[in-house]
Amino acid sequence: MRFTQTAAISVGSLGRRFIRASYLRIRHSRYFWPILDRLSKAGERWDINWLTYNPLVFAYYHEEAVASAPGVMRTFARLFPSAQRYVDIGAGSGAFAAEAQRLGRRTVAYEHSRLGRLLARSQGVDARPFDLGTRDARKIDRPFDLAYCFEVAEHLETALGDELVRFCAIQAPLVVFTAAPPGQGGTGHKNEQPRNYWIERFGANSMRYDEGMSCQLADGFRNESVQSQWLAKNVMVFLA
């Protein structure tokens, strides 16, 4: 039994290394961006989510998240030292959640994509299915200390964007939220809104925008040289 488990772990590790090596070869070739762009645009045109957010897109998002996560989580730990239980809403590949765990925070990740959940679980993250269209979250009463949601809302239709805000608001008394403003652009964006739009919606869910803390968090991201610059540009902090 032990031999079988060890063999399975070894095969899984070799598989991940092969996939990573293959991705890196493609990533640094001149074909990477044209292929990624064509696949994603075809998915947007035909409204096929798995094609819009194809494995190349997920791999690139993961690469960016891995580079940004250490600075983001160090900033969280410094500004919110009492927050020990995190929830990552729309976690993607789980890179931010994995980094939070490395810093000793108990973290749950919600992600719609099965591929995203598989990537998250491969990093030891507790990744759970997430479907705003069916989830009944009314019985949840802020089981976490800090909820964060990075650049998810702009990928959703307006009604689902409102559901996302409601779901974030009942997860924790402190929510860190970013969303692309009009003109930012990006793969699968369909709901780019100005900052006040989200401030009003969180307000309707009994959460107030804290401008001072938002500025501190943005400055912290910049001081940490967080690679994904839109995090500092778009970050908002809401308190119950």
Token pair recorded at residue 239? 């308190």
> Can you give the pLDDT at residue 172?
97
Average pLDDT of span 60-79: 96
* 3 state DSSP class of 218: helix
Residue 226 makes CB contacts below 8 A (sequence gap 6+) with: 68, 71, 72, 75, 232
More confident residue, 101 or 16: 101
Determine the Cα–Cα distance for residues 166 and 144; give it in Å rounded to an integer.
Answer: 15
Greatest Cα pair distance, the chain, in angstroms, is 58
- DSSP codes of every residue in 40-75: HHHHHHHT-HHHHT-HHHHHHHHHHHHHHHHHHHHH
Q: What angle do CA 219, 228, 240 make, to 5 degrees?
A: 55
Q: Does domain 49-239 have CATH number 3.40.50.150?
A: yes
Average pLDDT of span 193-197: 98
> Of 40-54, 177-191, 197-211, where does mean pLDDT reach its minimum?
40-54
The pLDDT tens digits of the residues spanning 109-128 come to 999 999 999 999 999 999 99
**Amino acid letter for position 10:** S
pLDDT band for position 3 (50/70/90)?
very low
Determine the Cα–Cα distance for residues 70 and 79; give it in Å rounded to an integer.
Answer: 14
Contact by Cβ (8 Å): 110, 87: yes
Q: How far is CA 208 from CA 60, 181, 199, in A?
A: 34, 19, 8
0.85 exceeded by pTM = yes
Domain positions in the chain are 49-239
Q: Name which of 65, 31, 38, 30 is nearest 54 in CA terms.
A: 38
Determine the Cα–Cα distance for residues 238 and 210; give it in Å rounded to an integer.
Answer: 6
Average pLDDT of span 125-139: 79
| Angle of helix 195-203 versus helix 158-169 axis, rounded to 10 | 50
Pairing of strands 146-150, 106-111: unpaired
pLDDT band for position 49 (50/70/90)?
confident
